[in-house]
Amino acid sequence: MTETPVHPALWPAPLASGAVDATVTVPGSKSVTNRGLVLAALAAEPGWLRRPLRSRDTLLMAEALRTLGVGIEECVGPDGSGEAWRVIPAGLHGPATVDVGNAGTVMRFLPPVAALADGPVRFDGDPRSYERPLGGVIEGLRALGARIDDDNRGALPMTVHGVGALEGGRVEIDASSSSQFVSALLLSAPRFNQGVEVRHVGSTLPSMPHIRMTVDMLRCVGAQVDEPETGGEPNVWRVSHSALLGRDLTVEPDLSNAQPFLAAALITGGTVVIPDWPVRTTQPGDQLRQIFTEMGGTCQLADRGLVFNGSGRIHGIDVDLSEVGELTPGIAAVAALADSPSTLRGVAHLRLHETDRLAALTKEINELGGDVTETEDGLHIRPRPLHGGVFHTYDDHRMATAGAIIGLAVDGVQIENVATTAKTLPDFPDMWSSMLAGSGS
């Protein structure tokens, strides 16, 4: 397997010299791109994915699907504009080896696809991928008829022994450690002989907007889905067996990756415009409009995009982030600079994200002079004057952007391995500099 890229260099996080005033064009959503790729690969006809995110997580997904036999061509759309991927479905073949890196979407969404391949598919990835939960996918697939060798018992590395088809049917899983277990089983379900009925039996279920995104995107390609929010049974999703359409999908900007730029407006009392902010979306990042307003900003959706203004004041917040866990590092960074304490709740599962995000945020903010304590399911943050120092990132893109947010207001913050932002936002350092120069990107 490929080694995790090592970039030991320290990146001096730029200090803001005044209020930012920039327009920042944010690349496509990781979650939409990787769902779009899987659904297009499973369709009965070719499709287009326009403005896909090109980052480590999405390139790993594209490469894995190519390895299984799917055609993914780089091209310009029929209207002559914009980069796109043309996805040409084909028979799924093993033997194959999939490198998941540390991408939750790849390690969870692809094993069900591999169960449809006609040979063994080996899954491996970064060391951290061995520690991230996968049991719900493995046990779920076994119950639906798949044979899986998981040497590491419920985690990577593992081999899915595809036989060209999967029976499907009813399955109970505990998805309290990751919503991606549910999304994974639903995304491939139209291709299971009996479709699927997934019943979540755990105590909590994080990241509901991401499950809504899965349901929405399935319906967009013609799948029939019954789900709790449109009158179905609580915690039960059903997807019927059916052929999927090849669609022409334009990927929305990644609203979670818009977070550091919105935070910059909030912290500096400036203005940041994010073009193409969708009016209607299932992305959890849309909740930033409300969260960052509560923390002191104002925003409006205009023709030129989301216009977000800081007021010069940053307020603490008491908030349940269980639906939007991936926003936690950025919110914690802003909260560390606020005028009152914050309590971030509902995110115990972040201990099993790219790194243990609750421990990492606590340690790194406290090493800059902060006062953060971990709670059972989140963080308590009491703002204190911070000082410069090295902000370690633990191969976590959102730790790097969280450090950059703090660095706007605190002189001398140095981000270790800022290149880890390549997981979802490879151009982050340049975009950050352009924003601060006022030109945007």
Ligand X SMILES: O=C(O)C1=C[C@@H](OP(=O)(O)O)[C@@H](O)[C@H](O)C1
Ligand Y SMILES: C=C(OP(=O)(O)O)C(=O)O
How far, in Å, CA of 272 to CA of 438, rounded?
Answer: 10
Q: Which does 206 bind (CB under 5 to 8 A by kind): ligand Y, ligand X, none?
A: ligand X
Q: Which does 271 bind (CB under 5 to 8 A by kind): ligand X, ligand Y, none?
A: none
Q: Is the peptide bond before 27 cis (omega within 30 degrees of 0)?
A: no
Structure-token pair, residue 368: 């800059």
Nearer to ligand Y, 136 or 195 (CB): 136
Q: Which does 179 bind (CB under 5 to 8 A by kind): ligand X, ligand Y, none?
A: ligand X
Q: Which does 257 bind (CB under 5 to 8 A by kind): ligand X, ligand Y, none?
A: none
Residue 305: CB partners within 8 Å, gap ≥ 6?
23, 273, 274, 275, 276, 277
How far, in Å, CA of 121 to CA of 94, rounded?
Answer: 6
User: What is the footprint of ligand X within residues 89-148 (CB under 6 A)?
Assistant: 104-105
How far, in Å, CA of 21 to CA of 18, rounded?
Answer: 9
Instruction: Give backbone dihedrals phi and psi of 200, rounded to 5 degrees, phi first.
Output: -85, 125
**H-assigned helices in 26-92:** 30-41, 56-67
Q: Which does 398 bind (CB under 5 to 8 A by kind): ligand Y, ligand X, none?
A: ligand Y
374 catalytic? Reply is no
Give 28's DSSP letter: B
Structure-token pair, residue 376: 């059972």
Please report, as ranges, the residues that interact with ligand Y according to CB under 6 A.
103-105, 326, 353-354, 398, 424
Please state the closest distance from residue 325 (CB atom) to ligand X, in A. 5
Nearer to ligand X, 392 or 397 (CB): 397
- What single-letter amino acid sits at 32? V
Nearer to ligand X, 247 or 349 (CB): 349
Site for ligand X contains 31 (CB under 6 A): yes
> Which one of 143-151, 177-185, 328-336, 381-389 is the stretch in contact with ligand X (CB under 6 A)?
177-185
Site for ligand X contains 180 (CB under 6 A): yes
Please state the closest distance from residue 1 (CB atom) to ligand Y, in A. 16
Site for ligand X contains 206 (CB under 6 A): yes
Residue 154: CB partners within 8 Å, gap ≥ 6?
133, 134, 135, 138, 139
108 is in an annotated binding site: no
Q: Which does 210 bind (CB under 5 to 8 A by kind): ligand X, ligand Y, none?
A: ligand X
Site for ligand X contains 183 (CB under 6 A): yes
How far, in Å, CA of 144 to CA of 261, rounded?
Answer: 43
Please state the closest distance from residue 316 (CB atom) to ligand X, in A. 23
Cα torsion at 65, 66, 69, 75 (round to 10°)? Answer: 110
Tracing tokens 């390609």 back to the chain, one arrives at 221
Task: Please pick, among 326, 354, 364, 416, the residue that the annotation labels catalytic.
Answer: 326
Helix-strand-coil split of the chain, %, nearest 5? 35, 20, 45
- Mapped onto helix, strand or coil, the DSSP state of residue 180 is helix
Site for ligand X contains 207 (CB under 6 A): yes
Please state the closest distance from residue 206 (CB atom) to ligand X, in A. 5
> Which one of 205-213, 233-241, 271-279, 407-415 is the stretch in contact with ligand X (CB under 6 A)?
205-213
Please state the closest distance from residue 157 (CB atom) to ligand X, in A. 19
392 is in an annotated binding site: no
The contacts found for 371-375 with CB under 8 angstroms, 24 or more apart, are: 372/332, 372/336, 375/343, 375/345
How far, in Å, CA of 199 to CA of 193, rounded?
Answer: 18
User: What is the footprint of ligand X within residues 306-365 (CB under 6 A)?
Assistant: 325-326, 349
Catalytically active residues, by annotation: 326
**Residues in the annotated binding site for 3-phosphoshikimate:** 30-31, 35, 178-180, 207, 326, 353
Q: Which residues bind ligand X (CB under 6 A)?
A: 31, 104-105, 178-180, 183, 206-207, 210, 325-326, 349
